[in-house]
Structure 1
Amino acid sequence: MLLTKASEYALLSLIIIAQKNAPQDVDTLSTQLGLSKSFLAKILQSLAKDAILSSFKGAHGGFMLAKKPEEITLKMIVECAEKKQTMVFECAPSAQKCPGGGGKGSNCRVWPILNKLQLKIDSFLDTMTLKDIIEH
């Protein structure tokens, strides 16, 4: 599982937004974080589309959390930013996709290990919240 800059920027933005009582605009956030405005805007729009953020238009518009920080998991953030399910390897979701077993799953020796790792990662990402990250 490769976490890209999109996940990092989403998380950094959410930390700042969570600590403010007013909508935060893309210009301010991009300047504060030293990030590309257009790239950050796409990330924030994805977070709004997935109901992690609420967006407000107008002179005093911007983005605010749509949920409480304790309701936003790291898995939600990463999957939204990356636009795909978190996977250790491509065959992680099912033994049938494992090329080592010829698609038969039961013959694959690698999949059970990868599946255990995937379950641990999923559990961690599902239990770590934005609140936990902010308080850490």
Structure 2
Amino acid sequence: MLISREVDYGIRIVLLLCETSRKMDAKEISEISGVSIRFTLKILGKLTSSDLVESFRGAKGGYIAAKKPKEISVYDLIQILEGGIKVNGCFEDKTSCSTSKMALCGLRCKLDEVNFKIKEELRKITMDKLKNCSGL
């Protein structure tokens, strides 16, 4: 499994917001996190729509984390920014399976277990646990 650049940047942005007790505008978030302003705005849009980030308009506007760091997991960010985790294409679209007997596919059964365990472990990694690892 490869974490996409968008998820990597989303983690940076959310960590920054969790570590800051004040509103930050997109430009400041972009500069500190090292993410382009365009990508920052795209990610903030998705995070705001999902209620992980709260946005405020106007001269004193900006963004803040809408949840406590211990309530935001890496899995949450992957779910919001990528639509979840799928270790094989057959989990995404049943028509992508190369066998006509998909229900009997032993590989799919085992990969389903792996997929579940990965999700379970990523749910355990919350922003408060990443704070000490942050280079921000």
Q: Tell me the TM-score normalised to structure 2 length.
A: 0.87
Q: Bigger relative contact order, structure 1 or 2, given CA contacts below 8 A and separation 6+?
A: 2
Question: What does residue 48 of structure 1 align with?
Answer: 48
Tell me the CA shift for residue 109 of structure 1: 2.4
Deviation per CA, 1:86-133: give whole Å up to 9, x if none. 111122369x66725414412x12112211210110101122211111
Tell me the secondary structure at the aligned position of residue 55 of structure 2. Answer: strand
Where does 1:19-38 land on structure 2 (aligned, <5 Å)? 19-38=19-38
Question: What does residue 39 of structure 1 align with?
Answer: 39
Residue range with higher mean Cα deviation, 27-36 or 84-93: 84-93
Q: Which runs of 4+ in 1 moved over 3 A?
A: none
1:130–1:97 distance in 2 versus 1, CA, 3 Å: farther
Find the aligned partners of 2:126 and 2:34 in 1 and give their Cα distance: 24
Tell me the CA shift for residue 3 of structure 1: 2.1
Find the aligned partners of 2:92 and 2:113 in 1 and give their Cα distance: 11
Question: What does residue 80 of structure 1 align with?
Answer: 80
Asked if 1:89 is matched to 2:88, the reply is yes
The answer as to whether partners of 1:98 and 1:105 remain within 8 angstroms in 2 is: no
Q: Provide the identity percentage.
A: 25
RMSD over aligned CA atoms reads 2.0
Tell me the secondary structure at the aligned position of residue 90 of structure 2. Answer: coil
- Tell me the number of residue pairs that the alignment of Structure 1 and Structure 2 aligns: 133
1:112–1:98 distance in 2 versus 1, CA, 3 Å: farther
Gaps of 5+ in 2: none
1:112 to 89, 97, 109: 109
1:125 to 111, 117, 122: 122
Tell me the CA shift for residue 16 of structure 1: 0.9
Find the aligned partners of 1:113 and 1:105 in 2 and give their Cα distance: 12
Find the aligned partners of 2:102 and 2:21 in 1 and give their Cα distance: 53
Find the aligned partners of 1:81 and 1:99 in 2 and give their Cα distance: 25
Question: What does residue 99 of structure 1 align with?
Answer: 97
Structure with greater helix share of residues: 2
Residue range with higher mean Cα deviation, 30-39 or 49-58: 30-39
The answer as to whether partners of 1:101 and 1:109 remain within 8 angstroms in 2 is: no
The answer as to whether partners of 1:97 and 1:103 remain within 8 angstroms in 2 is: no
Q: Tell me the TM-score normalised to structure 1 length.
A: 0.87
